[in-house]
Amino acid sequence: MNLLAKTTFAVQEPDRLIAAQVQTLLDLKTKPRRSLGRLESLACQVAAIRGDVCPPLPEKAIVMMAGDHGVAEERVSAYPQEVTAQMLLNFARGGAAINVLARQACARLVVADLGVKGEVSAAPEIRNHRIAPGTRNFTREQAMTRPQAIVALEVGIALATELAQAGVALIGLGDMGIGNTTASSALAAAFTGAPVEEVIGRGTGIDDAGLRRKLDVVRRGLVLHRPDPADPVGVLAALGGFEIAGLAGVVLGAAAARVPVVIDGFICSTAALAAVGLAPHAAGYLIGAHRSVEAGHRIVLRALEVEPLLDLQLRLGEGTGAALAMNLVDASLHILHEMATFDGAGVSDSGA
């Protein structure tokens, strides 16, 4: 059995019994029942995933994958394609938003080049997992071959496995790739069946003419490839990106290692949708970070049955929302570890 098949097979449902035990513990704390809302369900989820009623504060990592997109030649982005490679260097030097926010979250930042176009200077901070210098234009042909999609998925699986083995117990997803909201819109339409106009947005900031081009490009891609959502690898190969398939692999590898995954915005959520297509139980490992401005994000989150924690009108990607949400995961575990119980504190409980 290959790594992909072995990993999807290994993804088990988080332990519901532990989730229920943690809720019982939280109900003894000095607060009205469930009054800490999502913080309580977060603690239950993390405990259920880790298989531990009192999981320690997790070591954290953000996996930021970059790739270029052939479809960028259809002028669907406000930025030129060389920005992907330029931003990789910016990540290596520590100057991008995700560098700042990962530092604040005390999360290790792992930057991986899955297939950026053109020359990328070697930098020790960038992992070289280049599959090809960008995908192909999906309005003309498959974005990648099926074997390429599997390689990208397996790069993600191997990376998540490595991090889990090194003690990382919370992984955030991040993406960089000029053109990748277009690929994600196509994937979102393919996986959810939502009308194309509902999964299209302005990405990094295209104008109205660009938005119309993007709509047309995604429609042409869907007509050309007729993607079958029952074959997630085929859908990724036809319309996806190296970094998107890689991030789907990270979700699978993390879930197989019982590590929760904080998804970021539209692109990472679409990658998670592909992962859940391959291993339905992976859905239980996902923590929604934020609700992006990008229209398709709502639809993908709904398909994942994930409620985001933050509503900050972010539309940057890179894992910025995931990094910000990690503080809330820590908060949920601090509550579980440190709050007094009604009995211990001598406070009257109403049972409410």
Residues designated as active site: 318
Nearer CB in complex with its own copies: 12/41: 41
280 contacts 13 by C-beta, under 8 angstroms? no
- Taking the C-alpha atoms of residue 255 and residue 169, their distance in angstroms, rounded to an integer, is 11
Nearer CB in complex with its own copies: 96/274: 96
28 contacts 338 by C-beta, under 8 angstroms? no
Q: Which stretch binds its own copies (CB under 8 A): 23-31, 65-73, 106-114, 139-147?
A: 23-31
Look at the block and give the residue holding tokens 């085929």. Answer: 234
Which tokens hold the place of 209?
């003419």
Which tokens hold the place of 13?
């449902």
Strand order in the sheet with 59-67: 126-128, 107-115, 59-67, 168-176, 261-263, 286-288
Contacts of its own copies in 318-337 (CB under 8 A): 320, 324, 327-328, 330-331, 334-335
Taking CB under 8 A as the criterion, the residue among 33, 219, 281, 298 binding its own copies is: 33
- Taking the C-alpha atoms of residue 196 and residue 189, their distance in angstroms, rounded to an integer, is 6
Instruction: Write the interaction track for its own copies spanning residues 272-301; mark x where CB under 8 A is met and - where it is not.
Output: ---------------------x--------
Q: Is 63 helix (H, G, I), strand (E, B) or coil?
A: strand
Q: Which stretch binds its own copies (CB under 8 A): 11-19, 89-97, 220-228, 275-283?
A: 89-97
Taking CB under 8 A as the criterion, the residue among 7, 8, 90, 181 binding its own copies is: 90
* 313 counts as binding its own copies under rule CB under 8 A: yes
Taking CB under 8 A as the criterion, the residue among 6, 16, 56, 95 binding its own copies is: 95
Nearer CB in complex with its own copies: 147/205: 205
- Taking the C-alpha atoms of residue 160 and residue 183, their distance in angstroms, rounded to an integer, is 23
Which tokens hold the place of 58?
């997790």
Buried b (16+ CB within 10 A) or exposed e, 123-157: eeebbebbbbebbbbbbeebbbeeebbbbbbbbbb
Taking CB under 8 A as the criterion, the residue among 38, 75, 108, 219 binding its own copies is: 38
Contacts of its own copies in 183-222 (CB under 8 A): 204-206
**Spatial CA neighbour of 332 closest among 29, 57, 25:** 57
Q: Give the interface with its own copies as residue ranges (CB under 8 A).
A: 29-33, 35-39, 78-80, 82-83, 86-87, 89-90, 93, 95-97, 99-101, 103-104, 204-206, 293, 308-316, 320, 324, 327-328, 330-331, 334-335, 338-340, 344-348, 350, 352
